Structure 1
Amino acid sequence: MRYFARMLGLVFSATAGLLFLSSSYAQDAKDAKAPTEVTANANAAVLKKLPFKDRQDFEDVKRGFIAPLPNGGVIKNAQGEPVWDLGAYDFAEGKDAPESVNPSLWRQLQLLSEGGLYEVSPRIYQVRSADLSNITFIEGDKGVVVMDPLISAETAKAALDLYREHRGDKPVVGVIYTHSHIDHYGGVRGVVDEEDVTAGKVKIIAPDGFVDEAVSENVFAGNHMSRRASFMYGNLLPKDPRGSLGTGLGLGTSVGTATLIEPTDTITRDGQQIKLDGLTFEFILAPGSEAPSEMHFYIPELKALTAAENSNHTLHNLYTLRGAKVRNARAWSGYLNDTIQKWGEEAEVLYGPHHWPTWGNEKVVNHLKKQRDLYKYLNDQTLRMANHGYNMVEAAEMMQLPPELASYWANRGYYGSINHDTRAVWNYYLGYFDGNPARLYPLPPTDAGKKYVEYMGGAQNLLKLAQKDFDAGNYRWVAQVLDNLVSAEPDNQAARNLLADALEQLGYQQENGPWRNFFLSGAKELRNGIERMPVPSTASPDTIRSMPIELFFDFLAIRLNGPKAAGKNIAINLSLPDVEGNYSLVLENGVLNYGPPVERPSATVTVNRSDLNDVILGTATMKDKVGSGAVKVTGDEKQLDALLSLLDTFDFWWNLVTPNQPSDS
């Protein structure tokens, strides 16, 4: 039984791909180098390409301002520890972009750094820049409906307190989760009490499939996603002009308490309406767009529209760099078109869970059309090039938006990028293989790297040639070729350092926030190695309680070490009396399956789901539960131990920019 607690305690390593590392863990930029002349010139050229004289966004982001976040933008938890600090980004306020930053990304940072309470329109208010996302308060006849209550209970409560300070102590009568990512539901217990939900005083409304998607998206590959998220969100970087500038979608992720209260009302069809506190909410489902479970809605009494996270002031991800299923650009565009067709003639304001609103019917429709056509252009033109025979990398390199889309600030690639979104479309339809048999069966990076180094005359000659290309500003090629050398010789510090220099300059030039964070995080790891930092758990009690037991069994099967399990046959019956669940876990053929109980199990474990939750959360061990009598084991306990001994644990801090050595796993 000694393996069970460790096994269960590692079920969740991330939620919605967000890794919560406090910014205090990130070291300063002492190792960061200055931008080269090539980088400075590249960034200066951006000022001539884009319409920086257009200041409408700066007017819009301030419109309706009521009050700033209290305490200088610092929000703390019950222990007095900061979980959010808007002031960390003050370095950009009122300043021109330094040479180490793409001016377009700097502009986005300045817009996102505006925070506080805002009036969107009469009866609709938002608190912005108190977390990665916005929280919206929609006033009914007697109370308020909350849309998307942020990541953490602490930030959501601080936002509600700020709203009530200026709009009165209105009771929360409803919560709407627009989709299944944690920055749109995690703070729910900061705005409502579950007792009020249970008593019917508060409705919680969500799209079809919300709970399964919210709980499951990152369980199966969660450890891998979390590690990459540490790069994507810039968690390992300082916040300064040579470090992280946020993500383009928002500034960063709060590090408070993530919670979940399950929905009371589910939207299952287009056109479904819910009357709530004197207001009508009309819904359109948008599954498989920005989130697997997502929806848009319109309030006719207020002429107010939200397209959730499918319409933003940035190009979004069709593939997120933390790793996830590729999103459907064609469907995404279609949902925006449906929204225009259904409500485009009426809507006077478009607001969302990220960024700032758009006002006026003409501007609302124009914005939706520009975003609709952005995703459709990427979908259609990628397929056009694919049908001409261009592969994924070639199509991404060739893709250019037409001027009418590219010059629209809200379509710039601050979070998604034209390049990786094009590759996402290609991969969505055609997969990873481009049809060239020379690329069908490549050597793994370490083996290939050794041959590349040999063919290029050895490590010293390769470094000499790479330095020449670095001096010429050919950073993409330097990164590509030195990746082979570092794969072949991971301890070659000269190669690591020059590769770090190349990645750093690439990072400084990026308009895309996650790309910048990836390049700079990679440079940091190459120079300093992996610096193991505390990784707060996002496996909240609410999340664990909501996790279907079948999903948990699926995750156990992923944890099974197949090579070690070969030739073994074990059957365990598992009884969960408090939820009247009875299952079997059967190991055969190197695979772990679950199903109904079997007639002749090796052992039978009887445990209440509530006790199982305690073990998953790490508040108790299975040994404790057995000792207290809460868990009973009959049959051959050694067979249970044997099964549990075959389950791998996953190290979070695996190598991202140097090779991981193969093992029997």
Structure 2
Amino acid sequence: MRSIAKPATQHTITANAKVVDQLPFQDRQAYADARQGFIGTIDPLVITDDSGRVVWDLEQYAFLQDESPTTVNPSLWRISQLHMAHGLFKVTDRIHQIRGFDISNMTVIEGESGYIIVDPLTSVECARAAIELVYDHLGERPIRAIIYTHSHADHFGGVKALIDEDDIHPGGVRVVAPSGFMEHTVSENVYAGNAMYRRAQYMYGQNLSVDPTGMVSTGLGIALSQGQISLIEPTDLISDSGQELVLDGVRIEFQFTPDSEAPAEMHFYIPEMRALCMAENVSHHMHNLYTPRGAQIRDAAAWSRYIDEAMRRYGHKSDVMFICHQWPVWGTDSIRDFLTEQRDLYRYIHDETLRLAAHGHTMVEIAEMIEFPEGLATTWTARGYYGSLNHNAKAVYQRYLGFFDGNPANLHPHPPVESARRYVDFMGGAEVILAKARRSFDDGDYRWVAQVVNHVVFADPDNTSARELQADALEQLGYQAESAPWRNFYLTGAQDLREGVRTDEATLGTSDVLSAMTTDMLFDYLAIRLNGPKASGRNFTVLVHVTDTGETRLAELIHGVLICTPVDGHADADTSVRLDKPTLTGLALGAATLTDAVSAGAVDLSGDDELVYDLFTLFDTFSRSFDIVTP
């Protein structure tokens, strides 16, 4: 099936028109702020890798210069337009930002003899283009320090465009990050990485066309760059609020904010510049307490407290506040107002959700009931461009009470396909359901159409009429969504229903991030890959010597699990393996096969070799193209 986008229905046109009346579109201050301090840019802003492959292309979003179309929520169109401001911008004396070269910002602080770089974007290619623009306008100076504000790839991935490992030595470049940075950088997107990757395709609209009927923004920035992700391990870790460092003559005070927007995150303040960096804990929108791509629920109460602490520590003595996405805030009063709104936003979601839960309301009910109070309801910085009030309330409920709503009818439901078949049978069959659903579609009840027709699709995924109607409903929901991730989920779901799933069978690979996995992390990932039912009844041990690190692990296959224990070089085992850590990494991640590694001389087996080969037949290979909107 070929995906052909359909126009907005009259119901969608009406719904989007109402948004214009509900929000203060006459307030254009953000448009001025997003362009304040502009110095220069690349024109056209198209960045390629060494092979000529395009990794960043802002030109394809030129349509955002137009008026909001009927196929996009006007509020989402507004933030998408604001994300189009790109180039080098002056924040204040000695602080500049590159914006619009990736989903995130790169900040440049002038030290005594060189530059301090904050968050070097997602990819090497974009960071290289960014630093070249800096050199063109501010002059070429050595890079003296790198600051990673938190453990998400869009805030460190371009680092090797700026420095390499040879620059890390006593007296060399310092790399500063919050405590726990390496552990969370590696683990968050590896253990559940395959499922996250697939869901991220939906969340970021990676397979959608870039146009008013498809991808218009991520809500946090225009898009994610598609270049090489690199990583250099920190030299300095921040583990306490109030901790200070002097980097290239600049005194910086840090605020440690773990388990906020990222599991490892921090703010910092520069006294001599009266400048506050709030990392990604505040934005010009509502952020995610739960990210739809999948991740651990974030602590709304702690997040709010960290913002409050920053405001009390630094708000009264800051002239500018800059962040790692979007544009700065200038002026002490404006900074304190902004931080107050952001603090109260996350606290309100937390407290109101738990208040309603205490009255016995369930997660889904609370998400429908909760509304922001006056002062937040129509504030641009509380709009759900990236997070949403609906799924953030569900996140708070899940953090405290879990997925079960307490109703025993929901304690052990049938799985989706079996439920779907029973629903279709009870409701009179597919044709009866589709006839009623088409009437609901004509009435504009797209949420109900998506919900009820989903049963028909799961009961019979080859039912073309059901797939088309489901796609049509999801498409209209996408056109109405204010949240960019919601839009992208809806529209990607519609695309998969119409076209089928696009195949992507690449493995996790061995990038800098994955190569930074510890030996124990690699064995943990092997244990995740183990097919428990296939391993049932097998019991043997393998002694693994990691030659270049001097580590030895005893791997025991027992009860359908793989238990790996550190040992001091020698232990009784049924067989043994000698290999270096890069080889172990490739095998663990599925980027190499045992047969090829042995043939290449990278793996040395002794004892009962067949047991090692048998073990590797028990590891699953994960598809990165699994179905989501069909069974």
TM-score between the two structures when normalised by the length of structure 2: 0.97
How far apart, CA to CA, are the structure 2 residues paired with 1:439 and 1:619?
A: 40
- Give 1:577 deviation, angstroms: 2.3
CA spacing shift, 1:629–1:496, aligned 2, 3 Å: closer
Which residue of structure 1 lines up, in the alignment, with residue 287 of structure 2?
Answer: 316
| 2:124 equivalent to 1:153 | yes
CA spacing shift, 1:619–1:392, aligned 2, 3 Å: closer
Q: Say which SS state the counterpart of residue 144 (structure 2) adopts.
A: strand
| 2:425 equivalent to 1:454 | yes
Q: Is the 8 A contact 2:45 2:57 kept in 1?
A: yes
Which residue of structure 2 lines up, in the alignment, with residue 561 of structure 1?
Answer: 531
Amino acid at match of 1:252: A
Worse overlay, 441-450 or 598-607 = 598-607
Which residue of structure 1 lines up, in the alignment, with residue 609 of structure 2?
Answer: 637
Worse overlay, 589-598 or 253-262 = 589-598
> 381, 384, 397: which one pairs with 1:426?
397
| 2:224 equivalent to 1:253 | yes
Write out aligned runs for 1:430-579 (5 A). 430-533=401-504, 539-579=509-549
Q: Is the 8 A contact 1:607 1:631 kept in 2?
A: yes
Which residue of structure 1 lines up, in the alignment, with residue 45 of structure 2?
Answer: 73
Worse overlay, 217-226 or 614-623 = 614-623
- Give the number of equivalent residue pairs: 629
Which residue of structure 2 lines up, in the alignment, with residue 662 of structure 1?
Answer: none
How far apart, CA to CA, are the structure 2 residues paired with 1:629 and 1:135?
A: 43
- Give 1:505 deviation, angstroms: 0.3
How far apart, CA to CA, are the structure 2 residues paired with 1:164 and 1:54?
A: 35
Runs (5+) with no aligned partner, structure 2: none
Amino acid at match of 2:517: M
Q: Say which SS state the counterpart of residue 517 (structure 1) adopts.
A: helix
Which residue of structure 2 lines up, in the alignment, with residue 17 of structure 1?
Answer: none
Amino acid at match of 2:578: T
| 2:170 equivalent to 1:182 | no
Write out aligned runs for 1:309-348 (5 A). 309-348=280-319
RMSD, aligned CA: 1.6
> 18, 24, 30: which one pairs with 1:51?
24
CA spacing shift, 1:427–1:339, aligned 2, 3 Å: same
CA spacing shift, 1:143–1:618, aligned 2, 3 Å: farther
1:354-382 residue CA offsets vs partner (Å, 9 max, x unmatched): 00000000000110110000000000000
How far apart, CA to CA, are the structure 1 residues paired with 2:11 and 2:597?
A: 63
- Give 1:392 deviation, angstroms: 0.1
Q: Is the 8 A contact 1:304 1:350 kept in 2?
A: yes
Q: Say which SS state the counterpart of residue 132 (structure 1) adopts.
A: coil
Which residue of structure 1 lines up, in the alignment, with residue 584 of structure 2?
Answer: 612
Q: Is the 8 A contact 1:274 1:282 kept in 2?
A: yes
| 2:9 equivalent to 1:36 | yes
Amino acid at match of 1:544: L
| 2:562 equivalent to 1:592 | yes
Q: Is the 8 A contact 1:395 1:423 kept in 2?
A: yes
How far apart, CA to CA, are the structure 2 residues paired with 1:581 and 1:435?
A: 47
How far apart, CA to CA, are the structure 2 residues paired with 1:451 and 1:631?
A: 52
Which residue of structure 1 lines up, in the alignment, with residue 184 of structure 2?
Answer: 213
- Give 1:616 deviation, angstroms: 6.1
- Give 1:406 deviation, angstroms: 1.8
Q: Is the 8 A contact 2:304 2:347 kept in 1?
A: yes
How far apart, CA to CA, are the structure 2 residues paired with 1:51 and 1:304?
A: 29
Amino acid at match of 2:30: D
Write out aligned runs for 1:188-337 (5 A). 188-198=159-169, 200-337=171-308
Q: Is the 8 A contact 1:541 1:617 kept in 2?
A: no
Amino acid at match of 2:344: D
1:156-197 residue CA offsets vs partner (Å, 9 max, x unmatched): 010000011000011110000000000000000011132112
How far apart, CA to CA, are the structure 2 residues paired with 1:534 and 1:446?
A: 25
| 2:341 equivalent to 1:388 | no
Q: Say which SS state the counterpart of residue 141 (structure 2) adopts.
A: coil
CA spacing shift, 1:538–1:489, aligned 2, 3 Å: closer
Q: Say which SS state the counterpart of residue 301 (structure 1) adopts.
A: helix
Identity of aligned residues (%): 48
Q: Say which SS state the counterpart of residue 468 (structure 1) adopts.
A: helix
Amino acid at match of 2:347: K
Worse overlay, 193-202 or 496-505 = 193-202
Amino acid at match of 2:289: L
Instruction: Identify the structure with bigger relative contact order (alpha carbons < 8 Å, sequence gap 6+).
Output: 1
- Give 1:623 deviation, angstroms: 3.8
Q: Say which SS state the counterpart of residue 237 (structure 2) adopts.
A: strand
How far apart, CA to CA, are the structure 1 residues paired with 2:616 and 2:106?
A: 43
Worse overlay, 380-389 or 577-586 = 577-586
| 2:613 equivalent to 1:649 | no
Q: Say which SS state the counterpart of residue 273 (structure 2) adopts.
A: coil
Q: Is the 8 A contact 1:133 1:183 kept in 2?
A: yes
- Give 1:396 deviation, angstroms: 0.4
Q: Is the 8 A contact 1:606 1:632 kept in 2?
A: yes
> 547, 564, 583: which one pairs with 2:553?
583
Q: Say which SS state the counterpart of residue 579 (structure 1) adopts.
A: coil
- Give 1:516 deviation, angstroms: 0.2
Q: Say which SS state the counterpart of residue 266 (structure 1) adopts.
A: strand
- Give 1:499 deviation, angstroms: 0.6
1:199-251 residue CA offsets vs partner (Å, 9 max, x unmatched): 53210000000001001102111111111110000001011000011111011
Q: Is the 8 A contact 2:458 2:630 kept in 1?
A: yes
Amino acid at match of 1:494: S
Amino acid at match of 2:32: E
Q: Is the 8 A contact 2:510 2:591 kept in 1?
A: no
Amino acid at match of 2:88: L
Q: Say which SS state the counterpart of residue 344 (structure 1) adopts.
A: helix
1:580-627 residue CA offsets vs partner (Å, 9 max, x unmatched): 101111001111100034743121001122443465688865445434
